[in-house]
Amino acid sequence: MIQYLIRRILYAVPLLIGVNILTFVLFFVVNSPDDMARMHLGQKHVTAEAVTKWKQERGYDLPLFRNDQAGGIKQFTETIFYQKSVGLFLFRFGRADNGEDIGADISQRMWPSLAIAAPSLLVGLLVHISLALMLVFFRMTYLEFWGVALCVAMMSISSLFYIIGGQFVMGKLLQLTPISGYDLGWNALKFLVLPVIISVIAGIGSGVRWYRTLFLEEVEKDYVRTARAKGLSETYVLFTHVLKNAMIPILTGVVVVLPLLFIGSLITESFFSIPGLGSYTIDAINKQDFAIVRAMVFLGSALYILGLLLTDISYTLVDPRVRLN
């Protein structure tokens, strides 16, 4: 087990390096720091001094890979690559364009993101799986046909409409919940209800359809037929046999996204003005703050790779048939 874990972790290292190099190339080679400076300072009428000053303030005035002016090891450390990219491995994100520490911002803003994303995931799982089980229970009936049709229709609606519609009905017409906003501590609860409900409803179409296919695949297997032949009731078979065996793909699908819950959702957070990482990223995109976007790209990838790692481990925990090697 330990050996397997170590090998999996070692496998993640080249992936992280790959992501790091890719972001470096995207942000510093395709676009030189000069371009960034000019974009920030306004396209026209930019003096060379202003560009130099802008670069110096942010530490972009170093050479990309090799510093010929420095000696010894400094030849490699006094470069943009070392200063800006290698630090990401240690989660040193550096400073944003307005001088704030990105790392501190992230550690503060990830909690609101989690407060939205975690309940959405849990409630969503519960609702989607129960609905899917119901469809499977009533298979070959009109209820299934119309249920699936409704799922396809719900899938065809853009998530933006769910949010706008939900805000309009719940927030404006019925005035049950605040339209948007956030608060600290338990006061946040009333702001969380609407986004969670909306994200669960928006996911019904694709979620229920996906779980339904998983269940249907199991339902046709021999052991289920045996169980039914023994005289077990359909509900018993569904809940104990089918659900338990379909749990393996469901669980592994969930584990992958667990670390990504911290990142939050760009759209939800900006619609409900929740001060999480999603809205942080959107603000950065709108302000064209390259440093934040770069940090978020790396953080997101690192968390995804962590998710893959967890998935592999969870496989072996859930399904005893899977051997570690």
Partner 1 sequence: MIFFWTDTLFFILLLMLATAIIRTRSKEHLRRPWRKVARSKSAMVSLTVLIFYFGFAILDSIHFHPPEGQANEGKFKTEAISLLDWWASPLRLNTEKTYSAPFAIYGFARETIIGEDGVTRRAYPRLIHGGAHLTDANEKYLDILRTGMEGLLKGLLAWSVLAASLILIRAKSIKMAFVPCTMEITEGRTDVPWRAVLLTLLLLLLTSFALGELSLKYHVFGTDKVGEDVFFQSLKSIRTGLLIGTLTTFITLPLALALGILAGYFRGWVDDIIQYIYTTLNSIPGVLLIAASMLLMQAYMARHEDEFASLALRADFRLLFLCMILGLTSWTGLCRLLRAETLKLRELEYVQAARALGVHQSTILLRHILPNVFHLVLISVALDFSSLVLAEAVLSYVNIGVDPTTESWGNMINSARLEMAREPVVWWSLSAAFVFMFALVLAANLFADAVRDAFDPRRAE
Q: Can you tell me which of 6, 9, 18, 244 binds partner 1, judged by CB under 8 A?
A: 18
Among 159, 245, 252, 314, contact with partner 1 (rule: CB under 8 A)? 159
Helical H runs in 138-242?
A: 142-155, 159-166, 189-219, 222-229, 234-236
Give Cβ neighbours of residue 61 (< 8 Å, ≥ 6 apart): 33, 52, 55
> Binding to partner 1 by residue 273, rule CB under 8 A?
no
Asked whether position 19 contacts partner 1 by CB under 8 A, the answer is yes
Asked if 69 interacts with partner 1 (CB under 8 A), we say no
Query: Which residue, 20, 140, 157, 189, is CA-closest to 88?
Result: 20
Residues in contact with partner 1, counted by CB under 8 A, come to a total of: 48
Q: Which is nearer to partner 1, 35 or 101 (CB)?
A: 35
Taking CB under 8 A as the criterion, the residue among 267, 313, 318, 324 binding partner 1 is 267
- Helices of type H across the chain: 2-24, 33-41, 48-58, 74-77, 80, 87-89, 102-137, 142-155, 159-166, 189-219, 222-229, 234-236, 243-257, 266-271, 277-287, 290-318
Window contacting partner 1 (CB under 8 A); options: 27-35, 71-79, 137-145, 194-202:
27-35
Please state, in angstroms and rounded to a whole number, the distance separating the CA atoms of residues 205 and 159. 11
Compute the least distance from the CB of residue 70 to partner 1, in Å. Answer: 29
Considering only the stretches 13-21, 68-76, 84-92, 101-109, report the one whose residues sit in contact with partner 1 under the rule CB under 8 A. 13-21
**What are the two backbone dihedrals, phi and then psi, of residue 101, each rounded to the nearest 5 degrees?**
-75, 120
**Residue 13 contacts partner 1 per CB under 8 A:** no
Do 51 and 35 form a contact (C-beta atoms < 8 A)? Answer: no
Report if residue 169 touches partner 1, rule: CB under 8 A. Answer: no
Tracing tokens 């005289």 back to the chain, one arrives at 231
Binding site for partner 1 (CB under 8 A): 14-15, 18-19, 22-23, 26-27, 30-31, 35-36, 38-39, 43, 152-153, 155-161, 164, 167-168, 172, 260, 263, 266-267, 270, 281-282, 285-286, 288, 290, 293-294, 296-297, 300-301, 304-305, 308
